[in-house]
A and B are shown apart, each in its own frame.
Chain A
Amino acid sequence: MTPMSRSKPIKIELVSDPMYLCGARELVSSIAHRVGFGDMECSKIALALDEAMCNIIRHGYNKATDRPIWLTIYPQQPDETTYGGIEIIIEDEAKQVDPSTICGRDLADIKPGGLGVHIMREVMDQVVFEKRNGTGMRLKMSKSAPRPDEAPRIGQRSSGSNPAQARIS
């Protein structure tokens, strides 16, 4: 799903307990920072991950707190069009659903719930749901850090600054 070259990933297994969402958010946010996203974008990427995991817990596992969720995060190397990015893969053993039926609700219909998929699609560049072989679902999300036209190229920056932080809001 991504043309960018991946770094080696970090893979962790979590249980489907909401109390561990904070740890997953911190992890992805830290890696996003390292890749070069700014504070606001890191927060939004963490939000997308949170929403994905909440959906698994709530809808896939019916709020069971002892089921597995596998999280894989690939930092992506810079290429000709970006300063890098991040790819997140989340897998579970929940009931399988037709990926084409997964969609957010109409935002004009204001009511509690149903915002998770909309948030994921709003925040990330690509969001792809698919069935795993056998059991469970897989969600792939990715986001690139755009290279502003006026930004200095790597190697042309003044020393002592953090160019990634300065480039990307």
Chain B
Amino acid sequence: MAAASDNDFVRTESPETGVVILVPTADIDMSRSPILRSAIKSELKPGLDRMIIDLGEVQYMDSSGLATLVEAMRIAKSHAVPLHLVSMTTKVRAIFEIARLDAFFSIKDSRQEALDC
């Protein structure tokens, strides 16, 4: 897919107090996973009500992306912050299934579903 530059690869949104939504805007591979990891670590703090990672703009992810999200989930659990992955494309969902990680994460169809749960 058309890739954003690495500088604006992750967009951060806060639709309401205590909620952070991270939006990777291009493929997540070994070259970009560190950027996503850095964004997650800077935003995922104790006291946050929830974090949502919106993968709707991601057409491709490799195992470095999976590893980044596994690490994020572990940090979220240690901080007692609910972490949801939303709006996965079919291809990205398939990668989670290949890695047998689809049951490890909280995967929702939409942001609203993640906000409501």
Which residues of A come within 8 Å of B, CB atoms? 17-19, 21-22, 25, 39-40, 43-44, 46-47, 50-51, 54, 57-58, 107, 110-113, 115-116, 118-119, 122-123
Which residues of B come within 8 Å of A, CB atoms? 3, 27, 29-31, 60, 62-64, 66-68, 70-71, 90-91, 94-95, 98-101, 104
Q: Which of A22, A44, A111 contacts B94 (CB 8 A)?
A: A44
Instruction: Say yes or no: A43-B91 contact (C-beta < 8 A), given A22-B27, A22-B29.
Output: yes
Task: Determine the residue in chain A with the shortest Cβ distance to B73.
Answer: A110
Main DSSP-derived SS at the A contact region:
helix
Q: Which residues of A contact B64 (CB under 8 A)?
A: 54
Q: Which residues of B contact A21 (CB under 8 A)?
A: 29-31, 62
A115→B63 CA distance, assembly (Å): 6
Instruction: Say yes or no: A107-B100 contact (C-beta < 8 A), given A22-B27, A44-B94.
Output: yes
Task: Determine the residue in chain B with the shortest Cβ distance to A118.
Answer: B99
Q: Which of B3, B71, B90 contacts A112 (CB 8 A)?
A: B71
Counted as pairs of residues, one from A and one from B, with CB atoms less than 8 Å apart, the total is 67
Apart from A40-B91, A112-B71: 20 A-B pairs, beta carbons within 8 A: A17-B31, A18-B31, A19-B31, A21-B29, A21-B31, A22-B29, A22-B31, A39-B91, A44-B98, A46-B60, A47-B62, A47-B98, A50-B62, A51-B62, A110-B101, A112-B66, A112-B70, A115-B66, A118-B99, A123-B98
Kindly list the 4 A-B residue pairs having the minimum CB-CB distance in the complex, ordered from nearest.
A112-B67, A18-B31, A115-B63, A18-B30
Q: Which of A18, A40, A57, A107 contacts B90 (CB 8 A)?
A: A40
A111→B31 CA distance, assembly (Å): 20
Q: Which residues of B contact A17 (CB under 8 A)?
A: 31
Q: Smallest Cβ distance from A163 to chain B, in angstroms?
A: 22
Pairwise interchain contact B30-A54, C-beta atoms closer than 8 A:
yes
Q: Which of A22, A57, A110, A113 contacts B63 (CB 8 A)?
A: A113
Pairwise interchain contact B68-A112, C-beta atoms closer than 8 A:
yes
A123→B64 CA distance, assembly (Å): 17
A-B contact pairs, 27 of them (CB 8 A): A18-B29, A18-B31, A19-B31, A21-B30, A22-B29, A39-B91, A43-B60, A43-B91, A43-B94, A44-B94, A47-B95, A50-B29, A50-B62, A58-B30, A107-B99, A110-B104, A111-B70, A112-B67, A113-B63, A113-B67, A115-B63, A116-B63, A118-B98, A119-B98, A119-B99, A122-B98, A123-B98
* A17, A110, A122: most-surrounded residue (chain B CB, <10 A): A110
A113→B66 CA distance, assembly (Å): 8
Task: Determine the residue in chain B with the shortest Cβ distance to A21.
Answer: B29
A67→B63 CA distance, assembly (Å): 22
Pairwise interchain contact B94-A115, C-beta atoms closer than 8 A:
no
